Amino acid sequence: MAENETLECITEHERILQEIESTDTACVGPTLRSIYDDQPNAHKRFMEKLDARIRNHDREIEKMCNFHHQGFVDAITELLKVRADAEKLMCQVTDTNRRLQEAGREVTAQTEEVIRCRIQQRNMATTVEKLQLCIPVLEMYSKLKEQLESKRYYAALKTMEQLEKVYIPRVSQYRFCQIMAENLPRLREEIKEISMSDLKDFLESIRKHSDKVGETAMRQAQQHRTFNSAVAKQASTGHYTKPVYSLNGRTHTHTHNGLMMEEDSGEEEEADEEVLTAQDLVDFSPVYRCLHIYTVLGDRETFENYYRKQRKKQARLVLQPQANMHETVEGYRRYFNQIVGFFVVEDHILHATRGLVTRAFTDELWNMALSKIIAVLRTHSSYCDDPDLVLELKNLIVIFADTLQGYGFPVNRLFDLLFEVRDQYNETLLKKWALVFREIFELDNYSPIPVETEEEYKLVVSRFPFHDAEIEKQDFPKKLPMSQSVPQIYTQVKEFIYASLKFSESLHRSSTEIDDMLRKSTNLLLTRTLSSCLQNLIKKPHIGLTELVQIIINTTHLEQACRYLEEFITNITNVSPETVHTTRLYGLSTFKDARHAAEGEIYTKLNQKIDEFIQLADYEWGMAESDGRASGYLMDLINFLRSTFQVFTHLPGKVAQTACMSACKHLSTSLMQMLLDTELKQISMGAIQQFNLDVIQCELFASSEPVPGFQGDTLQLAFIDLRQLLDLFMVWDWSTYLADYGQPTSKYLRVNPATALALLEKMKDTSKKNNIFSQFRKNDRDKQKLIETVVKQLRSLVNGMSS
């Protein structure tokens, strides 16, 4: 066991020594510590082992040194031999180095200069290369500045785009490029603001001067329409084309706000006019420029919305009329010019730009404008009372519609409006002609037209279609039956037709429609205006019987002339009167109604005149005996009736007979009312006799046939009631009256018991008053009893009739 342990210990020490020899010095500690951790006194045995190893190594070193000693000695000996040569060589090398240094000092200086030059050359080449990269950037930026100063903003944006995408990225490491890149967004915003400012100036200028554009457009449209009308007359074909614009004898200059201003060249208009389009009148470059700028900046939608919004606002401003627009045609012309100018600009923008405005947008604007225009024209035309102004307004509307129709805008509603304006025009014409008719009637002398010579006769006949064989056979001087107002009225009716026709021109209506318009308006003139004037004339207090007779004669001739008015309209429109839908003139009924009214007024005035004479009656109702002659007032009345009825012989038909019969009946009724007046309380037999004398004069007048045409005693029958009543009292034939009462063959058939009773009571009171002392006479007492008896019987008859 001891031997085994000793072998193990020796083996372990051997391992430790090998580890110490092969291990780094820093790691020896743990190895040595393991020696002390083993068996006690093991370190002593290790030390012994270590000493033995050291001695072994020393012996090996000594052997090696002994083996190499001779060689070392030989090497030292050789080295000592070389020492002298080495020193000599060192001196030679030192001398050679010195001489070399002295010889290379100048070369070194030149070499350093070459190196410095080479470095400078390299730096210059690098600088040139970098500058060649920077110069295009600077040139482009300088170009950008020039473009901005010259207001070439679209080109400036393109330059900016090249700078950002091509040039600046090449030299982005330089500070100035970074500054440039930072400035570009600001410059873009400035360009947007400047272009928008130019657009605003353009919009403001075009709003102020759109009337000039519209004026030119409407003038050209009118010239074009006139030319087409002339061509149509020759070729019978032709249609409206889009108008062009020209400014006569003018030169045009652009202003900063984009409007073409006019400078008078001082030359007269020439036949060949310069043909200009909308872009020749207006500089649209601000719009194009701003559109392109916003498109490049990717903000086109904002620009489109702004432009459309502003144009809508301007449209509303343009459509606002002046308060006094209806007073002059210039007010309407300025209004239409502004609207036409607005839509001419919009039409050009629509076709010259892609999508800035669309057809839907312009249609929306036009529909809004059309509604407003129609409402404005309806309102303002209603204030207009001058037919000439309404006619000029119609012409303006036609030119306005034709102009915008040439640009593709629908204008049917405007032509529909013209029918409303036509009604307004007719109303103003009717008012104007009402004044004309009144003036004619006021200036008329209501007497037949005297004709001294054949020339005068032909002059009258040329103005009025009058034909009368008997009058034509008469020698000069002679008189025509109608008064001066008849040819004047006829001429004015024709003038009215001409005036009404003027409105129908250029309305694109057929001849049949125009014919219908003329006839309807003429009917209104006859049935409303002329009829009203005649009715008012007839009712005027100063119009006497002579004037009324002449009015009846005048209306008769006017009525006969209506067929000539029909022919006159037919010749104008070339529409046959046999056409199914042709409207007939109502002149016949108009003049018949006026004639009937005049006849009625004659009857009324005759009765009024009779009443005036009767008011002059001054009967002495209590007189004992009559004067033996008729009353003065009645003789004056009869003389008046005789002279009046002589004038009536010129009246047509049975007007004179009717008037005479009406006058006699009214006279008879008035005399009867005079007898039966309730305020008249007493009547004597002498008064009855005087009254009988007056009635006899009336009967004599009736039998003298003051107006021819009555058969037998027809006119005398007007006084039959008075005659039978007076005969009853004059003869005192009460027995016959009472006996035959109610019989068809009664002598006093027309005497009413109530009438006889009223008059008898007036006489009874008179008898009582005048015969107070005569009551003792037998005859008087018998007569008084008879009166009382008759009164009782009459009362019974009256009571029987009432029951």
Give dist(CA 665, CA 677) in Å, integer.
18
What distances in angstroms separate CA 97 from CA 84, 86, 89, 106, 112, one per listed residue? 20, 16, 12, 15, 20
**pLDDT for the residue 704:** 84
Give dist(CA 238, CA 228) in Å, integer.
7
Predicted model pTM: 0.64
**pLDDT for the residue 239:** 43
Angle between helices 359-383 and 387-406 (to 10 degrees): 170
Angle 19-22-23 from CA coordinates, rounded to 5°: 75
Give dist(CA 289, CA 754) in Å, integer.
109
Give the model confidence (pLDDT) of 444-471 as tens digits. Answer: 888 888 888 888 888 888 888 888 777 7
Give the model confidence (pLDDT) of 478-508 as tens digits. Answer: 888 888 888 998 899 889 888 888 887 767 6
| Inter-residue contact 753 to 741 (CB < 8 Å) | yes
Label residues 641-659 b or e (16+ Cβ within 10 Å = b): beebbeebeebeeebbbbb
Closest to 686 in 3D by CA, of 620, 734, 759, 773: 620
**pLDDT for the residue 271:** 35
Give dist(CA 302, CA 313) in Å, integer.
17
Determine how β-strand 449-451 pairs with β-strand 478-480: antiparallel
Handedness of CA 393, 398, 401, 403 (dihedral sign): negative
SS3 480: strand
Give dist(CA 564, CA 173) in Å, integer.
103
Q: Show the tokens assigned to 394.
A: 């119609």
- The DSSP result for 775-803, as a single string, is TTSHHHHHHHHHHHHHHHHHHHHHHHHH-
Determine how β-strand 260-264 pairs with β-strand 250-254: antiparallel
Ranges in the chain, pLDDT < 70: 1-9, 24-28, 31-32, 34-41, 228-280, 506, 508, 577-588, 649-650, 652-653, 765-781, 783, 802-803
